[in-house]
């Protein structure tokens, strides 16, 4: 399953970094929007989730994101998410980086999450940048508008073609560089710049672990590869640490 060496490295580490991708949320039933899941009502998701679609087809854009929000509101965290909460409570030097926008890490109880691609539960104005909490704006029109400037609202996610938030990316890069053990969990390891984070960690001496049922470009570079679903493995790691304690 995983090596004794890994458990020893975790036990003696101060800084642990976990980067999660679509795989951990897929275990909760969240669509990955890759392959056969890449369509919604016969629309290509990678064409819908763009600034261009928000500008040219805002009604369709918002219909899609309302559907996604309703879907995700019914989804619950799984054992992998809860295991990461346990690990955050155990280690002061814990960092959680995620490529997911589904809010499941926060829903599970993680307090500090570096959300590289944003969070679908948040909303802000595409014109003036004003942020709105749930219930602070009228969501009944087909295209919700800003109460401050009248601009079109948008979910707080990074759309295809947009850059990642620079401050969060910089914090993630620093965490990777300072990490003693770095876990890549359920991510395809092909989407940049997130895909570079494990290599930054390894270049700075981290023990690099990949948890993924499928082979990825990272597999050949990892110090340990675990070909299992993340929920099972992360829960087993927590259990092993508790037994030793």
Mean pLDDT by 10 residues, the chain (245 residues): 94 96 93 57 76 94 92 95 97 96 97 96 95 86 93 95 96 98 95 95 98 96 97 97 88
One CATH from 3.30.1600.10, 3.40.50.720, 3.40.50.10470, 3.10.180.10 for 36-74+125-157:
3.30.1600.10
Selecting among 43, 112, 117, 221, the annotated active-site residue is: 117
For residues 239, 240, 242, 245, the Cα torsion angle rounded to the nearest 10 degrees is 180
Residue 117 is among the residues annotated as catalytic for this protein? yes
What is the total residue count of the chain?
A: 245
Secondary structure of residue 14 in the 3-state scheme: coil
Q: Would you state the structure tokens that stand for residue 143, as one six-digit string?
A: 């295209």
pLDDT at 48: 85
Return the H-helix or E-strand segment holding 81: helix 79-90
Q: How many CB atoms lie within 10 A of CB 181?
A: 22
Cα separation, 15 vs 90, in Å, equals 11
Measured distance CA(241)–CA(226) in Å, rounded: 17
Structure token digits, residue 163:
């850059």
d(CA 229, CA 240): 17
Ranges for all domains in the chain classified under CATH 3.40.50.1220:
4-29+77-117+163-244
For 51, counting Cβ atoms within 10 Å of its Cβ (0-12 exposed, 13-18 middle, 19+ buried), the class is middle
Q: What is the pLDDT of residue 139?
A: 83
* CB atoms near residue 143 (< 10 Å): 15
Phi-psi region of 150 (alpha: psi -120 to 50; beta: other; left: phi over 0): left
CATH 3.30.1600.10 domain locations along the chain:
36-74+125-157
End-to-end alpha carbon distance in the chain: 20
Using the 8-state DSSP alphabet, how is residue 125 labeled?
A: E
Instruction: Give the pLDDT of residue 236.
Output: 97
Domain 4-29+77-117+163-244: CATH superfamily, name plus number: TPP-binding domain (3.40.50.1220)
């Amino acid at each position: 399953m995983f090596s004794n060496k890994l458990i020893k490295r975790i036990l003696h580490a101060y800084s642990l970094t976990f980067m999660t991708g679509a795989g951990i949320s897929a275990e909760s039933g969240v669509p990955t929007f890759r392959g056969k899941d890449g369509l919604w009502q016969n629309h290509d998701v990678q064409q819908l989730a763009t600034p261009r679609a928000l500008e040219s087809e805002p009604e369709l854009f918002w219909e899609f994101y309302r559907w996604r929000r309703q879907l995700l509101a019914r989804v619950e965290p799984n054992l992998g998410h809860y295991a990461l909460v346990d690990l955050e409570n155990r280690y002061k030097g814990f960092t959680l980086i995620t490529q997911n926008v589904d809010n499941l890490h926060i829903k599970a109880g993680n307090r500090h999450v570096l959300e590289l691609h944003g969070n679908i539960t948040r909303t802000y104005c595409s014109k003036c940048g004003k942020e709105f909490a749930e219930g602070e704006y009228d969501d009944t029109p087909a295209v919700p508008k800003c109460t401050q400037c009248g601009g079109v609202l948008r979910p707080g996610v990074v759309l295809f073609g947009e850059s990642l938030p620079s401050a969060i990316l910089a914090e993630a890069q620093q965490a990777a560089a300072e990490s003693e053990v770095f876990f890549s969990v359920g991510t395809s390891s092909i989407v940049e710049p997130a895909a570079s984070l494990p290599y930054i960690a390894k270049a700075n001496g981290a023990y690099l672990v990949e948890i993924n049922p499928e082979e990825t470009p990272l597999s050949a570079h990892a110090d340990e590869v675990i070909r299992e679903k993340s929920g099972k493995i992360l829960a087993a790691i927590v259990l092993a640490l508790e037994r030793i304690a």
